[in-house]
A and B are shown apart, each in its own frame.
Chain A
Amino acid sequence: MSPIPAPPVVLGPLLPSLIVVGTAIVVLLLDLLPPRASKAHLGTVALAGLVGALLATLRTWGSGGRAFHDMIVLDDYALFFHIVICYAAALIVLLSMDYLRRAGAESGEGYGLILFSTAGMMVLASANDLIVVFLAIELMSLSLYVLAGLFKRRREAGEASMKYFLLGVFASAFLLYGIALVYGATGTTNFDRIVVAVGAGPRDRLFLIGLGMLMVGFGFKISSVPFHMWAPDVYQGAPTSVTALIATGSKAAVFAALIRLLVAGLRTIQPDSTALLWALAALTMTVGNVVAIAQSNLKRMLAYSSIAHVGYMLVGLVAGGAPGAGAVLFYLLAYTFTTVGTFGVIALCERAGQEAVEVRDYAGLGRRHPLLALTLGLFLLSLIGIPPLAGFVGKFYLFGSAVRAGYVWLAVIAVLNSAVAAYYYLRVIVYMYMQEPEAASASLAPSFAGGLALAIALIGIVLLGVMPAPFADLAQAAVAPLIR
């Protein structure tokens, strides 16, 4: 019996995600030790792990590598997404330290699951193989399904968790079938070799069907119309800090895989995929914005608004090339800061012992708590895209790339949509400053952790809006190795 040679083990390119997984395991083990009553230290450990992963990412910038037979690629592109995802996760841990504690749901498994899903997102950003994409999406989603139901005693939380799980596994099945068909058509699951196989032969029906199924799976995870039905219910029922993670980190990670596969890899079938993406983008923006107008629940409204923002980002995918992909990366950075901040303020606002989730709960907030109202107002203005905040610059780059690539009509639809969106964001601001509160309300006092998260997010959107050039250059540098 001859010995089987050991394969080379290169763990370097996985280091940032390994740090996060390791921290998650430490958090779970620490949860078993005393003190049992207080879980505050677990949040600190989780935060330390995320900061460690962030530092490891920054140290690796420009010197990535490949591992596991090219299944994992740690290039600057993946590192850019690692930064976005780690920032989002760290802000969400900070928010959770405030929000979950007040809700009485602070737990070791909560922080552990946030870290596990973050690790899944990071692996997804550096995945260069459809099997790794599937594994990473499952690691991310399974943790999020449980996190959505973290408030065990609440009915809506159970509904959110169950809906997200059932529809999520359905979408995963589509994804898996798509992977099988792509493998059948090309004989490989590796991105690089798929591109070579597709470029060589004539257009293959089997491959296009497989790609379509992949798009269904991806479309579900980023909640693009018509695969968005789960989003409002899940966003509403899940704990607000978890909603922020679903809306930012998971979408950023799936966009990372989508861009790597479609914009950078499969440029030979661009005419087919662009037509599909064009329709998806226009539909997603319009449905998201129009339905958001009718919402009275703030979390539902933001769910539809996040659907609309996915539509804007798809505009960048349609434009394609380095300018389009770079614009999407910059927009994701801006969108992550803005959205985490918006959900952060909602998580901190209470009304009569309950979470303040209805728009009318915010009546008179400007007088009751001027600082918090101002913060929420700035985040909402950034979501509309008012200069000098991050949202404006992000939209400028996105729509600009679409116009330069010749998709003028799509840019026109996007701009019209932004105008529609202004209505429902401004309504909240009107409520905050121009309406009298309905009843006397308790004073709000965000803890240090919650305040710090909001401050970081606020500095982020102002910085991105006032001097966007360094960050835009960073995004362009990140997509450069993909699009040669």
Chain B
Amino acid sequence: MTEYGTMLMVFAFAAVVAGALLGLPRLLAPRRLTPVKAEPFECGKDPLGIAEGRFAIKFATVAIFFIIIDIELLFVWPWAMLYRRLGWFGFIEMMVFMAILMVGFLYIWRKGGLEWE
């Protein structure tokens, strides 16, 4: 039961922080609505456009490269938590995994995938 109690506390803390971030400006900040502010938030882009509009492919490739690092973290973190208990077996397995991952990273790098222009 105590584990679930901890989780509830995490949820409660998240709710308090998010509520404060949304609620405090409503109480404190001045509100002057302009047409620009009333637009749906689109990262500074015009929210309306033609369906066949073009995006630079660079955004997509960077997002995909991020996944490589992201998935690496997903596996490395639990491994690091249990590092001592897993011993040499865990170490070698992780090095094999990292080596294969690094081939992909090396490939991206040498092919110029990390250059923005």
Contacts and interface: CB of A to CB of B under 8 A. Distances in A.
Contacts of B84: 1, 3
Interface string A26-50: 0011011000000000000000000
- Chain B interface residue number, banded: 10 to 19
B103 A29 contact: yes
Contact of A1 (B85, B89, B106, B111): B85
B87 A6 contact: yes
B87 A32 contact: no
Nearest to B100: A25
Contacts of A3: 84-87
A4 interface: yes
A2 interface: yes
Contact of A6 (B82, B89, B100, B110): B89
Nearest to A6: B89
Contacts of B89: 6
A32 to B, nearest CB: 4
Interface in A19-78: 25, 28-29, 31-32
B82 A25 contact: no
B107 interface: yes
Nearest to A31: B107
A99 to B, nearest CB: 23
Nearest to A24: B103
A104 to B, nearest CB: 18
Given A25-B100, A28-B103, A29-B103, A4 B82 contact: yes
A6 B89 CA distance: 6
Contact of A29 (B86, B87, B106): B106
A25 B107 CA distance: 10
B83 to A, nearest CB: 11
A32 B87 CA distance: 35
Given A6-B86, A29-B107, 7 more contacts: A3-B86, A3-B87, A6-B87, A6-B89, A6-B90, A25-B100, A29-B103
Instruction: Give the 10 A-B CB pairs with smallest separation, nearest first.
Output: A6-B89, A32-B110, A4-B85, A3-B85, A1-B85, A3-B87, A28-B107, A25-B103, A4-B86, A28-B103
Interface of B: 82, 84-87, 89-90, 100, 103, 106-107, 110-111
19 contacts: A1-B84, A1-B85, A3-B84, A3-B86, A3-B87, A4-B85, A4-B86, A4-B87, A4-B90, A6-B86, A6-B87, A6-B89, A25-B100, A25-B103, A28-B107, A29-B106, A32-B106, A32-B107, A32-B111
